[in-house]
Amino acid sequence: MLAKCLRFERGERMNPKQKEIMEYLKRNNGILSYRKVKEAGLSYRAYRKMIEQQILEPLGNGLYGLADCYMDEWYLIQLRNTKGIYALDTALWLHGLSLTVPFEKTMMFPYGVNTTVIKQSQEVKPVVTRTNFDVGIVEIERQKGQRIRIYEIERTLVECLRPVYKMDVQLIAQAFKIYFQKYSVNYQKLMHYAKLFKVTDKIYSYIEVLS
C-alpha cells in the first residue's frame, strides 16, 4: 500500500476504532460507505474523523476510499452503478476486441431501474433491457481485487449486431476479425446468442467469411 496507508498501518495518530476501520478497508479494496459502517458495527465517529483527516476521500454515491490507494476508474464506476453491466461497444473495448476507446461508457440495466440520475451524472450511457439481462454476465479483474461485471465475449459480439443499437459496422467487423484471429471461437455460444437476439443470418455471414 502507499505511504499514507503504511503510516496508518504503523499506528501513527490512530486509535483502536480507526485501526478497526483500516482492517476492514484492507479486506474490502479500500472502499467504505456509511451503510457498510453500520452493517459492520464500526465506529461512525471514527469514520467521520478519518474523512476529516483526509485519510478517506469521497468517491461518489456515498462511497469513500483510502486517499493514497489507486482505484481503477472502471471499478469505481461499477461501484457507483451496482446494477449495471458493461455492454456493447464498451464491452468490446474491455475485452480487447476494439482499438477504439469508447467515447461513452455503456452499461446495461434491467427494466425498472430509474436511469434519470444515471443520465444526469453523464458518467455512463445507460441502456435498459426488458429481457435477457442476466444472461452471459462474467467478471474481469482490472486491478488486484478490483473486479467489474461485463457481458461475455460471444454475447457482446452478437448483441452488437442488433439493429436497435445502430452500432458502427466497421467497429463490429473489426471486433469479429480480432475474435476469430486471437480467440478459440465458440460457435455454439455464437449461435445460441444469435437465436436469442434474432440475428442468425448476420452471424452466418461473419462465420462464412472469417472461418
pLDDT for res 11: 47
Answer yes or no: are the C-beta atoms of 174 and 98 closer than 8 Å: yes
Q: Which residue has the higher pLDDT, 12 or 207?
A: 207
- DSSP secondary structure letters along 44-83: HHHHHHHHHTTSEEEEETTEEEETTS---HHHHHHHHSTT
Residue 188, burial from CB neighbour count under 10 angstroms (0-12, 13-18, 19+):
exposed
For 153-179, write each residue's pLDDT tens digit. Answer: 999 999 999 999 999 999 999 999 999
Residue 30: name the closest of 62, 1, 60 by CA. 1
Specify the 3-state DSSP secondary structure of 144: coil
pLDDT for res 61: 82
Residue 125: name the closest of 84, 158, 160 by CA. 84
Q: Which residue has the higher pLDDT, 143 or 210?
A: 210
pLDDT for res 31: 87
As a whole number, mean pLDDT of residues 186-194 equals: 98
Beta bridge partners of 143: 146
Examine the pLDDT at 42 and tell me if it is beyond 50.
Answer: yes
pLDDT for res 6: 45
For 58-101, write each residue's pLDDT tens digit. Answer: 988 889 988 877 788 999 999 999 999 999 999 999 999 999 88
Confidence of residue 12 (pLDDT cuts 50, 70, 90): low
pLDDT for res 2: 38
- DSSP, res 210: H
As a whole number, mean pLDDT of residues 11-35 equals: 83
For 103-155, write each residue's pLDDT tens digit. Answer: 899 999 999 999 998 998 889 999 999 999 999 999 999 988 889 999 999 99
pTM to 2 decimals? Answer: 0.84
Specify the 3-state DSSP secondary structure of 139: strand
pLDDT for res 8: 46
pLDDT for res 65: 87
pLDDT for res 67: 80
Beta bridge partners of 85: 108
Strand 106-110: give its sheet, edge to edge.
125-129, 106-110, 85-86, 146-151, 137-143
Residue 94: name the closest of 77, 80, 111, 110 by CA. 77
Q: Share the mean pLDDT of the chain.
A: 90
